[in-house]
Structure 1
Amino acid sequence: MEVKKDILWRVYLCFIGMGLFGVAILAKIFMLQNVEGNYWRSMADSLHTRYVSLEADRGTIYSEEGRMLSTSIPYFNLRVDFAADGLKANNGKIFKENIDSLSICLSNLFQDRTPREYKTLLKEAYKHKDRYFLLKRDVQFVQYQAVRNFPMFRLGKNKGGLIAETKNKRINPFKLLANRTIGLSRENAQNVGLERTYDNYLKGVTGKRLMRRIAGGTFVPVEGYDIEPENGRDIITTIDVNMQDIAETALMNMMVSNEAETGTCILMEVKTGKIKAIANLGRQPDGSYWEDMNYALRVGEPGSTFKLATVIAAIEDRYVTMNDQVNLNEGRLQIGKRTVFDSEPHPGQTNVSIKHAFELSSNVGMAQLAMKCYQKKPNDFVAHLRKLKLDKTTGIDLVGEGSPVIKSTKSRTWSATSLPWMSFGYEVLISPMQTCMLYNAVANNGVMMKPYLVNAIMEYGQPVRDFDPEIVMDSICSQNTLRQVKAMLEGVVTNGTAKSLWSPYYKIAGKTGTALVANGKDGYSKKIYQSSFAGYFPANDPQFTCVVVIRNKPNAVKFYGGAVAGPVFREVADKLYAIAVEKQRPMRAAIAIDTLLAFKNGQGRDWKTILNTLNLPTQGALGNSNWVSPRVDDKKIAFTTVKQIKGGVPDVTGMGLKDALYLLENAGMRVIVKGAGKVTSQSLPGGSILGKNQTIVIELS
């Protein structure tokens, strides 16, 4: 008996232990499923799902008159879900019935495979039930539209399996025209130009799409979990396409004929500071020209166009007037161990007026003037240059503007010859844009304007930010000084180095420049000259300031500013004078509703709120309680009433999911939703007899 009891006790103990172990397992299962379930499910999802970015449509850059300068066009990667419900149904009946005709259509459209090769490719993918099969990359929009109507694919995503991934490609419709200024938007490199400066506005907000990993490591989209991207805003520039074309053509003609290395032509509107055109050309290894750099913003020794700053300083500081005399010394002057040369000798000419020395572009005359006025106080001359803002960038809305250099006696490279050499544009570094801003101030009766390239930032046709003309200085000098320097600039064209630019139809004022420039380690030995002309027209009522700077090839036969840069200025001025009276309206005056906007049907009161908030143009009456369908009609939004029959199935086609569910569920219907976006179809037609507890399937796209 004792042995039996001992055995039973042990058996009972084992049963109790097994029971407790089972209870512990059940308790753990309960904890995992009900207490810790959400945590572990999220952990599992994180291993099998991921978010991918949905690219927002980048905003468009327009010219002032409304022409596209840079825009995005859609391209598509076409994929096929061979495990779609429609392709699995009835033992693949849809696939088997359509594969031959589909293969022929694909072959005829893309012409990269024979129908037999396409058929083999599709059958192999179908055999493996590939859920994300890549059919074709970089398909154009027109081709995509055709593919959507092909056999099998025309049945839609769920039945035909077609999946389209959209991506945008940036293009400049006018190609070379203002290419560097407008800029480039590049995926794997830094943007340049306006594309870079206003990138935060143009790029929009990136969306997200939830992707789930399936067999084979492929990821497919999870429906209903997209975060839609917010499209970028549009930019309205100050660029005028016709003026840009004129400037670019004139510059190109001279660059090609003279085989020049680089060149820029800037056109600024006098009263506002708007940049109407900015052409930049660089010679490529094959001899062609392209907008490879923004030479308008690169600093360098300006040469004789800088003499305007010298005479403004001397006259404004009341050391001289334009009629005072200066010694040309027949075009040659020894200063210390260096010699100042004029581009042409002046035999027999010694004492001439400062005005005539300026008209002849005499380096000797400017050096004599600077030493006479500022030799004892050279920093006074430097201070005046800084007062003219020549030591600061213009602040134009382009990234990459070079930093100017205006030396002073504290500079490490200052020497006894710095002052005279600075007076005629050497030993200083400024950009053509700075030169343009200075000459424009003279043309604008002394008011210095900040140059700018963007008029407005737009969203859905409405301005969200405007850019107005900005005054940098109310007056760069006195009216007395201004009258004298204007007379000197006009004298250059009537009686100086730019006599070839004289026009019988309108007055031109400006200054030529010819500078010997250094070429890296070779220094000045290559005899590379920079030709320039800066001026404005018509001189009696200035409308435009134009600056042309061209860097010539080594040992060029033609290199004087009046012979190289001057003709470019004259060609631009002649053509603009002919069309300047036809003032083009800014784009904002002609803004209309975009016919490509995606509209959704909704309640009248909701649409009223939208219209009032965005200030959109409309036509026709709009009630508060009725359901309406919007459309664009004659550049305005018009509405059609969507009738909802009492006791019938609500018509929710064209509505967003929120409104559709509101109507259908209030009608007592059970709703099954497929897709995302707005309702494209409903399984029970609107207005049909409404049954009790009916189920309706709505597809969104």
Structure 2
Amino acid sequence: MDVKKDILWRVYLCLIGMALFGVAILAKVFYIQNIQGSYWRSMADSLHTRYVALDADRGTIYSEEGRMLSTSIPYFDIRIDFAADGLTDKKGLVFRTNLDSLSLCLSQLFNDRSQAEYKKLLQEGYKSKDRYFLLKRDVPFDQYQTLRTLPMFRLGKNKGGMIAETKSKRINPFKLLANRTIGLARENAQSVGLERTYDDYLRGVTGKRLMRRIAGGTYVPVEGYDIEPENGRDIVTTIDVNMQDIVETALMNMMVQNEADHGTCILMEVKTGKIKALANIGHLQDGSYWENMNYALQVGEPGSTFKLATVISVLEDKYATMNTMVNMDGGKWKVGRRTVYDSEPHPGPQNVTIKHAFELSSNVGMAKLAVQYYSKQPNNFVAHLRKLKLDQITGIDLLGEGRPVIKSTNSRTWSNTSLPWMAFGYEVLISPLQTAMLYNAVANNGKMMKPYLVNSIMEYGQVVKQFEPTIVMDSICSNSTLRQVQQMLAGVVTNGTAKKLQNQYYSFAGKTGTALVANGSRGYADKIYQASFAGYFPANDPQYTCVVVIKNKPHALRFYGASVAGPVFREVADRLFALAVEKQAPMQATLKIDSTLAMKNGKGAEWNEILQTLHLPAGNATASSWVSAKVDNQKVTFQQVSQPKGAVPDVTGMGLKDALYLLENAGLRVVIKGAGKVKTQSLPGGTKIGNEQTIVIELS
């Protein structure tokens, strides 16, 4: 019996113990969940980390003479870590001491809140112990520089709590000037122009930053875990700012005067194919004009400027010479059920030379040549057009070039009138840039050059990729044909449709064009004309090819190429001739050394190796063991840093590796704060070293 009671007592005791243990567990769960819940949740949050992207600084786009056409400017989001060591130490002494003065300075700097409002804002942030408190967004660089000098913020990130998040904004300093060609680097939409074509070079390599989540779902940076981004490379274009301004102004003046719909003007260097200026102006809905589309790359029916290809074909096949006669039939000729019209009737002698028919821009004359010599084998004419590369894109370094259309007898839309209409620039589609490429070849004695917009890619002032002129075709035709078409183009100015444009100071050659264009479903009823002029100057020693194409408004009073596009060409040529523009050497490795480059103190031998590798100019050679470096008068100069034995080394300005090497070899214990290069050291350089001394170095 006693044994039974003893066993029961022990069982009951175990049950009571287990019950008490269960109650204790439940109590602890309740305590943790309800009493300590916020604390442990914040601790759990702190264990969550993630990487965020650090955008690289986008490269700058320069003109050929070194002016910035597109660049990035920094701006900042300013935040405060109210739990920083310096702000929590001594019950917030630093914060309370600087609160009034900081509030006043912020009010004066931003001028958006009163001192009292800023004081209240800062107090609320401090009371909440917010580690990522947003003070101000989109602060420009000059204001950021001032912020760093304000009370409390001047103490640095750890003591003053200021966190600056850097962003960048893309700007075109010259606004309208070549805006569409340079393009836009858009954050949430597709870029255009050179910004898009060379995006791989300009954008650089994105870095990473480790972020830790704190209470409230906010993330703060984790020190020492950044993967620095690689900055983008710079682009040096072929564009000359002065020439671009001349071209842009001349085109804009005519667009406004004639209330035109859109227009383009291309200025191309004859010998190289460099695009020195490219203007594209369109009429916006609000009545203003802006560079809204790259019209130079859009294909359309070129009109009479295409007649150059027709006469090259006829002369090259030896069917005729420029002195062969052709009958203009008074400017009207019936082909099947359609009629070819000249822009103006031609009374008087109807039999004229091919040269004079070309000078007068006779559609009838060109159509008759095509029918007379190619009606039996139309594809022979098409073959000439293809030989002149009119069926191919130019390959310019801009994305979005339109695909040309040169029909053949195999084309679905070919008819018995296609051949004569193609002869004077209809039923074909080419871009103004293709027209410029063809006329430039004539100016360049038959050598066809590929148009291009970029001279070189540069990284920290050094050329990493150079672009050279590219020859597309050594000769577009025989010398005999070339000399004849050059005379014919010169004759247009001296004795043809562009006669009123000539001047006594210099000669130029070219061709006018006036094409009736369709207006969607309304067809040709609105009488919308496209005026164009393609030519080169000076005629005796061509330096530049210029093509102007302007689409006029419906029923415009002025619409002929000679009266709309021609004056733009003449203004461009006059101003360039008057300025006696000399061809400037491309900017190669001429960018100046950035005087703000971060340079660390270090070993002289390592600095010598860096200078030799990067080909940087040195103001003085260094044979010293330890030196400080800086940029002085566009050269890297050095100053010896003495490190006497038995004294604390001066490591200010050094990287962590060099600083540790010197300090530990001197027998000091080193405590490190921050990252970067040494900003301050607790024991000044030159101080005598005692036994087992400790030195604190702060890096930034």
Q: Report the 3-state secondary structure (helix = DSSP H, G, I; strand = E; otherwise coil) of the residue aligned with 1:590.
A: coil
Partner residue, 1:368: 368
1:10 Cα deviation from its structure 2 partner: 9.0
Moved more, 495-504 or 586-595: 586-595
- Give the structure 1 partner of residue 415 of structure 2: 415
Give the secondary structure class of the aligned counterpart of 2:310: helix
Q: Please state whether the residue corresponding to 1:671 is helix, strand or coil.
A: strand
Partner of 1:315: 315
1:108-507 matches, within 5 Å, as 108-507=108-507
- d(CA) in 2 for partners of 1:468 and 1:611? 28
Greater displacement, 216-225 / 270-279: 216-225
Contact in 1 for aligned 2:267/2:277 (Cα 8 Å): yes
Task: State the alpha-carbon separation in 1 of the partners of residues 9 and 466 from structure 2.
Answer: 93
Q: Secondary structure at the match of 1:691?
A: coil
Q: 1:646 corresponds to which residue?
A: 645
User: By how many angstroms is 1:418 displaced?
Assistant: 0.5
Separation in structure 2 between the aligned mates of residue 393 and residue 540 of structure 1, nearest angstrom: 29
CA shift for structure 1 position 2? 10
The one-letter amino acid paired with 2:690 is G
Give the whole-Å Cα distance in 1 for the aligned partners of 2:47 and 2:564.
Answer: 67
| Equivalent residues of 2:406, 2:429 under 8 A apart | yes
CA distance in 2, matches of 1:673, 1:522: 78
Which stretch shows the higher mean deviation, 654-663 or 79-88?
A: 654-663
AA of the residue aligned to 1:233: R
Paired residue for 1:626?
625
SS of equivalent residue, structure 1 residue 123: helix
Contact kept in structure 1, 2:46 and 2:212, CA below 8 Å: no
SS for the counterpart of 1:652 is coil
- 1:336-379 deviation line (CA, Å, top 9, x unaligned): 11111000000133211000000000000000011111100000
Displacement of 1:647 in angstroms is 1.7
The corresponding residue for 2:58 is 58
Partner of 2:680: 681
How far the C-alpha of 1:44 sits from its partner, in A, is 7.6
Task: Judge conservation of contact 2:535–2:546 (CA < 8 Å) in 1.
Answer: yes
Greater CA deviation, 602-611 or 116-125? 602-611
Structure 1 Cα separation of the partners of residues 695 and 273 of structure 2: 62
Which letter maps to 2:573?
Answer: A
Distance of 2:655 and 2:187 partners within structure 1: 33
Give the whole-Å Cα distance in 2 for the aligned partners of 1:188 and 1:214. Answer: 29
Structure 1 residues 402 and 616: CA distance shift in structure 2, 3 A:
same
* 2:657 alignment counterpart: 658
Matched to 2:652, the amino acid is T
Q: Retained in 2: the 8 A contact 1:461–1:594?
A: no
Query: 1:439, 1:231 → 2: CA distance?
Result: 40
1:667-687 Cα distance to aligned partner (Å, 9 max, x none): 233323222222222222222
Deviations 1:201-241 (A, max 9, x none): 11111111111111111111111111111111111000000
Runs (5+) with no aligned partner, structure 2? 19-42
- 1:36 maps to what in 2? none
Cα contact 2:462–2:589 (8 A) shared by 1: no
* Partner Cα separation in structure 2 for residue 220 and residue 66 of structure 1: 40
Deviations 1:286-311 (A, max 9, x none): 21110001111011100000000111
Alignment partner, residue 636 of structure 2: 637
Q: 1:435 to 1:118 in 2, by over 3 A?
A: same
Instruction: Supply the distance in 2 between the matched residues of 1:484 and 1:85 (Cα, whole angstroms).
Output: 85
Q: Distance in 1 between matches of 2:455 and 2:513?
A: 32
Q: 3-state SS of the aligned residue for 2:554?
A: coil
Q: Give the letter for the 1:600 counterpart.
A: K
Task: Output the CA distance in 2 between the equivalents of 1:644 and 1:320.
Answer: 90
1:580-619 matches, cutoff 5 A: 580-588=580-588, 590-619=590-619
1:274–1:452: 8 Å Cα contact kept in structure 2?
yes
More moved, 648-657 vs 383-392: 648-657
CA RMSD of aligned residues (A): 2.1
The AA in structure 2 aligned to 1:351 is N
Aligned residue for 1:587, secondary structure, equals: coil
Aligned letter for 2:414?
Answer: W
How far off its partner does 1:134 sit?
0.4
Q: Give the whole-Å Cα distance in 1 for the aligned partners of 2:445 and 2:638.
A: 53
The change in CA–CA distance for 1:92 and 1:45 in structure 2 (over 3 A counts) is closer
Shift of 1:135: 0.2
Q: Name the CA distance, whole Å, in 2 between partners of 1:547 and 1:693.
A: 80
Contact 1:673 1:700 in 2 (8 A): yes
CA distance in structure 2 between the partners assigned to 1:364 and 1:517 by the alignment: 19
* Counterpart residue type for residue 72 of structure 1: S
CA distance in 1, matches of 2:194, 2:538: 30
Q: Deviations over 1:83-108 (max 9, x none)?
A: 11111011111111111111111111
Q: How far off its partner does 1:285 sit? A: 1.4
Could you tell me how far 1:656 is from its partner in structure 2? 1.8
| 1:474 partner amino acid | D
Give % identity.
Answer: 76
Give the secondary structure class of the aligned counterpart of 2:315: helix
Kept in 2, the 8 Å contact 1:592–1:636? The answer is no
The two structures have a TM-score, normalised by structure 2, of: 0.94
Q: Is contact 1:298–1:401 with CA below 8 Å preserved after alignment?
A: yes
**Aligned-pair distance for 1:581?**
4.7
- Whichever residue aligns with residue 651 of structure 1, its letter is D
- For residues 700 and 369 of structure 1, the distance between their equivalents in structure 2, rounded to whole angstroms, comes to 82
> How far apart in 2 are the matches of 1:437 and 1:261?
24
In structure 1, how many angstroms separate the alpha carbons of the residues matched to 2:637 and 2:588?
21
Partner SS for 1:588: coil
Deviation for aligned residue 1:690 = 2.1
Distance 1:578 1:678 in 2: 55
- Name the CA distance, whole Å, in 2 between partners of 1:451 and 1:646: 65
Shift of 1:643: 1.6
What is the distance in 2 between the residues matched to 1:349 and 1:672?
A: 101
Mapped partners of 1:109, 1:591: distance in 2: 34
Question: Secondary structure at the residue paired with 2:90?
Answer: helix
TM-superposed CA distance for 1:9, in Å, is 14
Instruction: Work out the CA distance in 2 between the residues paired with 1:337 and 1:9.
Output: 123
Alpha carbons 1:264, 1:296 under 8 Å: kept: yes
Residue-by-residue CA offset, 1:432-477 (whole Å, 9 max, x unaligned): 0000000000000100000000001011111000000000001000
Counterparts of 2:66 and 2:217, CA distance in 1: 48
Query: Residue 588 of structure 2 aligns to a residue in which SS?
Result: helix
Once residues 400 and 554 of structure 1 are traced to their aligned partners in structure 2, the CA distance between those partners, rounded to angstroms, is 28
Classify the secondary structure of the residue corresponding to 2:413.
coil
> Over residues 360-416 of structure 1, what are the superposed CA-to-partner deviations in whole Å (9 max), with x where a residue is unaligned?
000000000111111000001111100000000000000111110001111111111
Q: Unpaired runs of 5+ in structure 1?
A: 19-42
Distance 1:637 1:618 in 2: 5
